[in-house]
Amino acid sequence: MDVADPSDWLKTTVPKLAPVESALRCQVCKDFFDTPMITSCSHTFCSLCIRRCLTNDGKCPVCRTADQELRLRRNWTVQEIVDAFQIARPSLSSLAMLELNHSSVEKPTSKRKLDDTDLEEDTDDPIVTVQRRKTRSHDSRLSNSTDQATAPSPNEAVQAVADENHNGNGSAACPICGQRMKEEAVFLHLDTHNEPDAPSQHNLRKSRRAPSVEVVGTSRTNVKPPERLPQLNYSLMKDVALRKKLSELGIPTTGPRSLLVRRHAEWINIVNANADSSRPKSKREMLRELDIWDRSTGRSIASSGNELNNAGSIMRKDFDGAAWSANHSSDFQDLISKARNTGRADSSPRKNGSPANVIVEQENHESTTSAQLIDGLPERPASSTIPNSDDT
Amino acid sequence: MASSLASRRLFQEYRTLTSSPPDGITAGPVSEDDIFLWEALIQGPEGTPFEGGVFPAELKFPKDYPLNPPSMKFLCDIWHPNVYPTGLVCISILHAPGEDPNHYEQASERWSPIQSVEKILISVMSMLAEPNDESPANVEAAKMWREKRGMFEERVRKSVREGLGLA
């Protein structure tokens, strides 16, 4: 797969476009902004990116100011700039490459095409003019082509067609109607647009020729805004309630508690980022995104269950109690003797933070949960939390 | 494509690194099957005892990259105050803001999702040039660097020569 990158411009006649493109990309995912949101410290990120960051540590990734998701605001202007740039990119880049090919190595096929165009007719089409001026100064050509390429979009906020692969298969989109074709064919094709189009005709044409292109304005006003989900205070929720919540939301309920919590948080981020978007996705698509998350990040959370930061796997049906107690037997012995020394009634060892005690704390936490489920007992002292007492 | 944010971003970084690599640094995934394991080559900075050496290192990325930083480990012997004898690199950009193994780092110099492989490798390169002996990962190397600089430099030069197969 080929991915468009700001560094592409470095090899063209307009390397100065590299920082322009970098500025139109989110610093977290390094991709073009998708539903840009501005933080209260005035930094802009994709909605899903900044929500994930805030879920992770509650800080702006750029300046580390504390922020909250509720304070994020949409940044439509950036969205429109990015959309317009993405539409302009293929033709901009083929122009910049064409120039390079022409001035260094002669590329027979494309050159002949160009000459043909030159010989034909005398149209006033600005693009053809631009093209004929090839050998003249860069700047005028650049500004012309940019104008031409972005001309249709300002009033319409057109949705960008995914055009990442224009380099890979050598095809490029027409900057006016979005139709895809060989790079060399674009200029000839542009002649068909040379009558001055009224903006409404643009719209008609768009919907007819490229069904995937839609006008943002309509979806923004006509469709009712998608629902947002509130955050949950997970520490107040028992496993059963949490699983119930997940099944109500229609998302998978499998896995240890820590995974359930993270999955729910991820789902909230996906749903709320989607609610910010000017072109919301269906629930099916969002579930697919969650599934991707589950199979990468989620799986690594589940598989790190044996580590100290994740005691949730102890609750799983397939938890290997024998291996666990063998691995940690020295810790347990140590803890038991410590607990005997300090006395049964005293639960203070939980307060000191040595690694061994962390295990106790988590063991304790797990067994507490199940204990409460069974008979509502309060926490038991550390010495009684030998593994295998629950579940296996 | 069904790929996670982490793998898309890593791919993008790889793309940037190949088309405009910083001086003295190359990096990329070890194999196409696993984009979460990279190998990097860092040249020893000029004007330091590490000059002339090429140091291979391994970067392991977490599945929730870039929320959390990768870990970096040199695959060769390297005598440096901020590299554990196992090769693991101890540098603030590789530590998430929440963790601070040595209790001295400013939050501002730690990992953040806007950092990148390129910035990590550049930081490591400048770490080679200017060790930080406030929180040594290799106490012996730090002591030698602080008290017997000549000996430190000689030892590093020797290992660089050995690494190149010249000694």
Helix (H, G, I), strand (E, B) or coil at B94: helix
State which residue of chain B sits closest to A6, comparing Cα positions.
B16
Q: Where are the beta strands (DSSP E) in B44-134?
A: 54-60, 71-74
**Interchain CB distance below 8 Å, B114 and A11:** no
Answering whether pTM is above 0.80, one says no
Query: How far is it, in rounded angstroms, from Cα B115 to Cα B98?
Result: 16
At residue A222 the predicted structure's pLDDT band, cuts being 50, 70 and 90, is low
Nearest residue, CB atoms, A57 vs list B2, B19, B98:
B98
Contact A48, A273 (CB under 8 A): yes
- Rounded Cα–Cα distance for residues B52 and A339 (Å): 58
How many whole angstroms separate alpha carbon A232 and alpha carbon A227? 16
Q: What is the pLDDT of residue A94?
A: 87
Digit-coded pLDDT (tens) for A22-32? 999 999 999 99
pLDDT band at residue B96 using 50, 70 and 90 as cut-offs: confident
Give the integer Cα–Cα distance in Å for B167 and A266: 54
Distance CA A242, CA A232 (A): 10
- Amino acid identity of residue A205, one-letter, is R
- Positive or negative, the CA dihedral A49, A51, A56, A61 is positive
B97 contacts in chain A (CB < 8 Å): 57, 59, 64
Q: Domains, chain A, ranges and CATH?
A: 1-74 (3.30.40.10), 103-223 (no CATH), 234-315 (no CATH)
Indicate the pLDDT class of residue A330, thresholds 50, 70 and 90.
confident
Which of A76-90, A217-231, A375-389 has the lowest average pLDDT?
A375-389
Interface test with B, best of A8, A46, A54, A56 (most B CBs within 10 A): A56
Cα–Cα–Cα angle for A378, A379, A385, rounded to 5 degrees: 140
A47 φ/ψ angles, rounded to the nearest 5 degrees: -55, -50
Asked if A75 and A36 count as a contact pair (C-beta separation under 8 A), the reply is yes
Distance, first Cα to last Cα, chain B: 50
Nearest to A44 by CA among A13, A75, A14: A75
Q: Is A64 on the interface with B (CB under 8 A)?
A: yes
Joined together, the tokens standing for residue A95 give: 């122009």
Closest Cα to residue A297, out of A253, A249, A259, A257?
A259
Those residues whose C-beta lies under 8 Å from the C-beta of residue B107, and which sit 6 or more positions away, are A64, B97
**Residues of B annotated as part of the active site:** 90
Please name the helix (run of DSSP H) or strand (run of DSSP E) that holds residue A126, with its range, or none.
helix A126-132
Q: How confident is the model over A8-56, as pLDDT tens digits?
A: 888 888 889 999 999 999 999 999 999 999 999 999 999 999 999 999 8
- Structure tokens of A215? 């006008």
Which residue, among A266, A65, A309, has the nearest Cα to B97 in the 3D structure?
Answer: A65
Most confident of A298-312, A325-339, B18-32: B18-32
Burial category of A215 from C-beta neighbours within 10 Å (exposed 0-12, middle 13-18, buried 19 and up): middle
More confident residue, B2 or A20: A20
- Residue A87 to residue A163: CA distance in whole angstroms: 8
CB A360 within 8 A of CB A385: yes
Among the ranges A112-121, A303-312, B83-92, which has the highest mean pLDDT value?
B83-92
Q: Contact, A272 vs A228, CB < 8 A? A: yes
| Confidence at residue A353, expressed as pLDDT on a 0 to 100 scale | 45
For helices A239-249 and A257-276, the axis angle rounded to 10 degrees is: 30
Best of A28, A55, A261 to disrupt the B interface by mutation (most B CBs within 10 Å)?
A28
> B97 vs A29: CB contact, 8 Å cut-off?
no
The mean-pLDDT minimum among A89-103, A162-176, A194-208, A309-323 falls in: A194-208
Would you call B63 and A300 a contact, using CB atoms and an 8 Å cutoff?
yes
- The per-residue b/e assignment along A310-334, b for 16 or more CB within 10 angstroms, e otherwise, is bbbbbbbeebeeeebeeebeebbee
Q: pLDDT band for position A379 (50/70/90)?
A: very low
Q: What is the mean pLDDT of residues A180-205?
A: 57
- Rounded to a whole number of angstroms, the distance from the CA of B77 to the nearest CA of chain A is 29
Residues sharing a CB contact under 8 Å with residue A65, sequence separation 6 or more, in sequence order: A39, A40, A41, A59
C-alpha distances (whole Å) from B40 to each of A70, B59, B75, B99, B108 are 40, 7, 10, 25, 25
Q: CA-CA distance, A34 to A318, in Å (whole number)?
A: 41
Report the candidate in B42, B35, B43, B37 with the shortest Cα–Cα distance to residue B15: B35
Tell me the C-alpha distance between A250 and B6, whole Å. 25
Which of A43-57, A192-206, B113-127 is predicted least confidently? A192-206
Return d(Cα A114, Cα A132) in angstroms, integer.
9
Please name which of A321, A327, A298 lies closest in space to residue A310, comparing C-alpha atoms.
A298
| AA identity, residue A360 | V
Q: What percent of chain A has pLDDT over 90?
A: 24
Gap between the Cα atoms of B47 and B142, Å rounded: 19
Residue whose C-alpha is closest to residue A360's, from A327, A335, A389:
A335
